Chains A and B, each alone.
Chain A
Amino acid sequence: MTPTVVEVLDVTKSYPGSAGVRALDGVSVGFAAGTFCAVMGPSGSGKSTLLHCAAGLDRPDSGRVLLAGQEISGLREPKLTTVRRRRVGFVFQSYNLMDSLSVWHNVLLPQRLAGVRPDRSWAREVMRRVGLTGRENDRPGQLSGGQRQRVALARALAGRPEVIFADEPTGALDLSTGREVLALLREAVDGFGTAVIMVTHDPAAAAWADRVVFLADGRIVAELADPTVEKVAAQMTAVSAR
């Protein structure tokens, strides 16, 4: 049994405005270190909320979140930020890169913000692995979408995080570019031993994972190990039809 890197225990979260509607309704789920897990569900099922709560980007109304064994649900800023930047990497649909910094500076930014000496040789290695060697001095604005997402991935990996949270990382990319990014996420798990937790609505993307968790109406409704595209699609249809 591999240790869990992220443990979500009985987490509830609702947003003001939509009174009574709970985005998360007593969700408990654990994510094992060094594994690739996809979170799926129809729109409004709470999958992004789960990711935000698990990553410490959002605070649950109740319940606990343990990140690498440390309870983060009770932490306040800026402590939360320091925990996050030490243990977590992010890859989002909208890349979230700093446009005024070069690719290289973007990759090193989290470590500099953390006040640690950036591990340049490791960063160069990561850049090589994501295929961006030679683009270090470009600005994100000069890159294609797929290249930007690779920068985001390199940035996430450069800090040697225990877990990478990815929210629809292929959402803005075409099919083949998306596949390249997924392959890189897969490699992060297999090659670097990083856990990846990825929210997606695309069965083809989810099929790259080791395990798929299905959410509907703020609850976990199904799980799938060793998914294939067909199995995920079938399960999604079932979940959506509920």
Chain B
Amino acid sequence: MMRLALGSLRRHRGAYLGTFLAAFLAVALLAGAGLLLFSVLTAKPPADRFAATAVVLSGDREVTLQTVRKKKDKVKTKTKSERLTGAGTLPVDLAGRIAAVPGVADAVADYAFPVAFPVRGEDGAPVVGHGWASAALTPYTLEQGRPPAAGEVVVDADLAARGGLSTGDQVPITTRTGVRTLRVSGVAAPAGRDGLPAQGAVFLADREVPAVSGLAGPTAIGVLAAPGADRAALAAAVRAVAGDATLLTGADKVRGDLPGALPDYIGPISIFGFTIGITAFAAVFVLTGTVALGVRQRLRELALLRTAGATPGQLRRLLGLESVVLAAVAAVPAMPLGVVVARVVAARFRALGAVPAQFTVGVNVLVLGGAAAAGVLVTFVAARIAGRRAVRIAPTQALVETATAPRGGLLVRVLAALVTAGGAVAVLSFVPLGGPLGMGMSFVSSALLLCAVAALGPVLVRALTAVVGRLTRVAGVTGWLAGTVARVESRRVAAVAVPLVLMFAVNATMLLNSSLLGRLTADEHAARNAPATGQVTGPAGLPLDAVGDLAALPGVTGAAATLPTRAIVAQGGKPEDHPSQGLFLAGREAAIDLGVREGRIGGDDTFAASSYLVRQYGWRVGDEVPIWLADGYQVTLRLAAVYERSRGFGDMALPARLVAAHDPRGLVAAVALRYDGDVASRIRERWPALRVTPTAEAVRAGDAQNQQGAWELMVVISLGFTAIAVVNTFAIATAARRREYADLRLAGATAGQVHRMVTGEAAITVAVGLLLGAAVAGIVVGAFSTAQDGVFRLIVDPVTYAGMLAGVAALGMVAGALPIRLVLRRRALPAVADGR
């Protein structure tokens, strides 16, 4: 059997090339996406600022909720947690108590807080401020100068080099408590390097740190062990004193650092998870289709084997074995290509800022092997499914001109289509597409609809070609031929059209949905800021106290300051993190218009929430809602208002004071001002560092742009892969029809007529593919759009839509019409007797 399979592969080298290519690309993409996901999941923080410590105690770094559910006799405890963007603090006196524990040489209270500094670290790394005592945790040692006294700062050697700083220089430092100009008293560095990767460090006098940082206590305590102390015993002893502080040892110690100081892999994990989802779907989809097409084109050979005495079981094994050999061989060069793909994508994502600059792709043999195994498995299963009916082909079929597989299975097809289409409808109706899951879920529903189209392909195509094929009749005899052949060969047309449907539907959905979101965000941003005359921004942000001065300027009639932050609320015992803003309002006129639907913004201990969030959690105005701020501090605020314009803003508007005190950055990102007269020039005069931009020219937030770039890159990958699938399928289908074209030539068709007929068929196929693709995309985009703002849109962006249509059509036409030129060389005449 093995020999037969291998021999068959060798003999039909050309026919298998298409399957080989599909398997090769599928495995490469799976491997690439798998490696990316693996690499972000296993990414280690690049350095441990607590390297010198034995044990680290940290304040809260996540919000953890426990729900206890009683089910008959069993008590189920569920623990769910959500990471904080800030750092919780520890009691001020704890370090002193820990220092007294036997075996502890010293317990250092570590204050870590983000600092806006004239320069950033390597690869744009953030700069973090500490007390000088924290230098011992790494340790940093002085290269020049002396430890900082009040009004002084020690900077790490890397920052000193980048900023051209040396002892005695004056340097401005901005924290949430304000802007200070400090004198550089020295330059320090960890052993063997200039600074830690991914975070720059500045050290202030320990006495000044609580005031500068605005922290109520240390964010962590680093415990240095006495020489010869037993680490396990030490940890146990510290734990006994530590109370509810989190105790970290070994590699976990880094988790005691400021969350913002470590590269954040949460975003990339979801991006790469999504990438692997799309890739896996497209790869499996394309591979299955290609394998099925390949099997169908070998029906005659299968029938011949049946004549030679092969049982259906043997044919099934033959098909299975062939596919395994083919996919395994394809996987060998595909795995290195997967590594290349992962590296290229990672480099591009690094450049876009969608992944931390320190991100590297690790090559993991298990992941590569897994991708190869998945590719082999998919090919195998696809071959078995495609062969399911084919192997029962009657031996007599070998004797007739065209082998046709036993028909039937319509019921199975209809059932599969109903199930997948029903799934799509369920996703579109029940998942709130307006929320953060919207994009992912719209993709899931388009994937399900594509499966329905693929299952029902021949039926749909037969109906469509009956219509489209009639239209081509106006193009004379070749058009009539193309229409007739396409109608009769609806299965083949379906097999070729489905990749076109995939290409159009997936990419149009992604492009249109993201363009819709971008436009809605921009529109809401503009509507929010419409009441403001100008936007005031500082180079690193403004301390909240400065806003009062701005609002008090003569001529200013209204001010709204926003402090971007994240806040956590709980739903059914599960903490969920939401982008939010600290909002400070002043003046008699509104400088921001959030589109309040209900209630009024403002008032002590109140907050406002987006209508999405209110719907999501079932809140009503007046409800008391527990909210965790960035550092894990829990407050209970009353819901005072519900607003509509949340895109690019956030889902909650919290009291600005509270955010300034509990978000480690705690700075105002922008102040919207409503004014008359020369306020702008007076601001520039009085605060030269501030920028005043007329509202009309204000640019959008940069955070969304990272996502946008990552999104576009994914569209490019997906476009490339689906385009190759389209070309591949067309090529396979054409190669198998060489004989048919020869027969046509023999019946008196000129080469030109054959070309025209093939072009006509390609046009029918493309038209069918685009119609179905537009239907799938229309359903998904329409539902997505309706969920966003109640407006049903199909096209969203006419330029993108037309571009997609034209691009897919052009590719389909070229892919459909070009192979025939290679098959029917200009003067080559029909190979009459040997053309099989």
Contact = CB atoms under 8 A, between A and B. Distances in A.
A92 B747 contact: no
The 9 closest A-B pairs by CB, nearest first: A85-B748, A78-B750, A100-B488, A110-B748, A81-B750, A100-B485, A112-B477, A96-B743, A99-B402
B745 A92 contact: no
A15 B178 CA distance: 92
A57 B753 contact: no
Interface stretch (B180-188, B451-459, B827-835): B827-835
A52 B745 CA distance: 14
B753 A113 contact: yes
B76 interface: no
Interface string B570-612: 0000000000000000000000000000000000000000000
Given A96-B832, A100-B488, A109 B401 contact: no
B747 A109 contact: yes
A168 B489 CA distance: 30
B229 interface: no
A84 B748 contact: yes
A114 interface: yes
Interface in B743-768: 743-753
Contacts of B695: none
Interface in B379-418: 400-402, 404
A81 B753 CA distance: 11
Contacts of B830: 57
Contact of A90 (B401, B477, B480, B746): B746
Given A78-B750, A148-B401, A97 B833 contact: no
B740 interface: yes
B514 interface: no
Interface string B723-746: 000000000000000001011111
B11 interface: no
B833 A48 contact: yes
Nearest to B402: A99
Interface residues of B, number: 31
Interface of A: 48, 52, 57-58, 76-78, 81-82, 84-85, 90, 92-101, 105-106, 109-110, 112-115, 139-141, 148, 155, 159, 167
A91 to B, nearest CB: 10
Contacts of B488: 100-101, 139
A167 B830 CA distance: 14
A139 B746 CA distance: 19
Given A100-B489, A101-B484, A167-B833, A77 B750 contact: yes
Nearest to B746: A96
A113 B477 contact: yes
B177 to A, nearest CB: 81
Most buried by B among A52, A96, A98, A159: A96
B826 interface: yes
Contact of B829 (A57, A90, A112, A141): A57
Contacts of A58: 829
A140 B401 contact: yes
A65 to B, nearest CB: 14
Contacts of B745: 81
A195 to B, nearest CB: 18
Interface string B473-499: 000110011001100110000000000
A99 B401 contact: yes
A94 B826 CA distance: 24
Given A77-B751, A112-B477, A57 B832 contact: yes
B738 to A, nearest CB: 13
A52 B753 CA distance: 21
B17 to A, nearest CB: 24
B296 to A, nearest CB: 14
B390 to A, nearest CB: 17
A73 B489 CA distance: 37
A98 B748 contact: no
B734 to A, nearest CB: 15
Contacts of B751: 77-78, 81
B832 A98 contact: no
Contacts of A115: 476-477
A225 to B, nearest CB: 29
B832 A113 contact: no
Contact of B401 (A82, A84, A141): A141
B752 A95 contact: no
Contacts of B480: 112
A155 B746 CA distance: 11
Contacts of B826: 77
A78 to B, nearest CB: 4
A149 to B, nearest CB: 11
B750 A141 contact: no
5 contacts: A78-B752, A94-B833, A96-B747, A101-B481, A101-B484
Contacts of A98: 485, 740, 743-744, 747
Contacts of B400: 141
A110 B827 CA distance: 20
Nearest to B743: A96
A94 B749 CA distance: 18
Given A76-B827, A140-B401, 6 more contacts: A77-B750, A96-B743, A100-B489, A101-B481, A101-B488, A167-B832
Contacts of A99: 401-402, 740
B472 to A, nearest CB: 14
Given A90-B746, A112-B477, A155-B747, A97 B489 contact: no
A92 B832 contact: yes
A84 B476 CA distance: 21
Contacts of A96: 742-743, 746-747, 832
B477 A93 contact: no
A141 B402 contact: yes
B402 A77 contact: no
